[in-house]
Each structure stands twice: as structure tokens, then as C-alpha cells.
Structure 1
Amino acid sequence: MNGTWHFVTDDKPMLELTTSIPMTLVVKAPITAGRLTIAAGVDFFLELALLKLEAGNFAAKFGVGAARDLIKKNGGDSLSFEAKAAGEAGPWDLAGTAYAGTLEIPTKVIATPSLGMDELHISGSITMDDVELPLPGMSGVNSITFTLDGKVSLKAS
């Protein structure tokens, strides 16, 4: 099935990012744009609004402010990830680098379409290195891997 589908952002889809370091932090980031093109493989694009991060649990409230400061310091207000994968039938394993201003973040995404191509499940991971968390007992943490989970509606172009 060849074609291009854009992410429907009217319903404010969120991508949930979760990590345990040793406490569990849950952060939600709004999906602001995205595209999936299937031809002789797949092209995938995802954009998240980082300045609109929401804390998904109490522990994450402290980290969200620090994350916003880090993002502003590096000149980015959104995170963009674009990757290609082989094969016309999903799920697709996509790996590459996401960018937020001057930040470069190793990212892995698994994009799984619904049977009717009206919804896309997004899972995977984002790894942030050289981070400082202003949380009690977290001063020794310098790398965080977040697992990703979310769904977004698709609209054929």
C-alpha cells in the first residue's frame, strides 16, 4: 500500500516517555506534526513540542522544568525525528538521531500501522546523555533512556 499519511494533531495526541532511574518518571509530549510515506520503503517524520511537556506523575514534575531549561539553553522548542526503513508492510523499525536545537538524541522508533491505515502506534526509545537532574539522589545520573508509547490518527494525503 503506497501513499502518504499525515498525523492528525487536532485531537492533541501525546507521546508518553517513561524512564526508571531508580524512580519512575513519566513525561508526556504533544505530537505537533508527522508524516508517513510508503513507496519502496517508508519515510517517517515525527515532531514533538518539547516546551509543552507535561508531567505524567508526581516525580516527573521536578524534571519537566529542568528539561524545559535544557531545551531553551540549546535553542530548541521542538524535537524532530526523521528516518527511513525498508519494506512496505509495517511494523517498521526506524533508528537515527532526533534533533532539538543543538541537541542530538539517539532515537529508535517502531511504527505500527492499524489494518485500515487510520492509526499509527509509536513505540521505541530515546537516550539522553550528559544530563543533570535536579532531583534528590539523582546527581550521579548522566544518561537516561526513555521508552516511548503513543498513538496518532492518520489522514491520507
Structure 2
Amino acid sequence: MEKLLNKLLADLVVEYHKLQSYHWYLKGYHFFDDHPKLESYYDMIAGMVDGVAEDMLKLSLKPESTMKGFLALTSVKEAENGEVTSAEAFASTLKDFELLRDDVLAVKKAADESGDYLTSALMDDYIESFYKEIWMLRQVLK
């Protein structure tokens, strides 16, 4: 369980920083609408980071806490250090949210199989969030 949760934690932390980068470097006509949307995404992810780490601590597991460690575990590709359009940012975010949804589903399955109802219940909230945001991002990118 610790390995799966640390993988999820690493993906969330890198996604948080990636969304911040997009928020900072966003350019284009939709800036005024999309700038706050990206902020809402990284705020959502920040809550999940804290939720996963605290869940691990409640279970006497050791959450990763270093950038070096997160980068060694993550499957999320970091953002480039430069300007990005809304379409680019949202297409990348969609791909990452699909990856994060899959991470969360894997943790949920393992938690259910091991009788870890605390983690299972937490993942339910994250599953709903990712499915909703994936649907909305797909609509925006049509």
C-alpha cells in the first residue's frame, strides 16, 4: 500500500507544480477565464496531496516528502519553463488527470482488497473529482 500511495503522492505533487507553471505562463485570448481555472485545479490537487500524506501517516506509513523522491516515482512529465496556451495547458492537464484517475483507481482497488476502508473512502472522493474534471476538459477541448 505504501508504494502505491507514494506513487500517487508523487504524481500529485508534480502535477501541482505543473499546474502552477501553466497558471504563471498562460498566454492568449482566454487568459482571464483560464488563469483562475488553472489555480482552482492546483488548489484541488494541493488538498489531495495533503489528504494522501495524512492518510499514510494515519496508517503508520511513510509518505515521500522530497522533490528528488517525487521525481524518481512520478509518471507525470514536468511542464516546460515557458509560455503555454489554454489549449496546450488543458490538453496536457486532461492527459495528466486521466493518469491520476488511474492511480486513484489502483489505490482504491488495493485498499478494498486489503480492508483499508479509510483509504478506500478517501479515494472515492478523488475518483469523482477526476471523472468530473476529465469530462469538463474533454468538453473544452472539442
TM-score by length of 2: 0.29
Higher strand share: 1
Structure having the larger proportion of residues in helix: 2
- Which structure would you say has the larger RCO, counting Cα contacts within 8 Å and 6 or more residues apart? 2
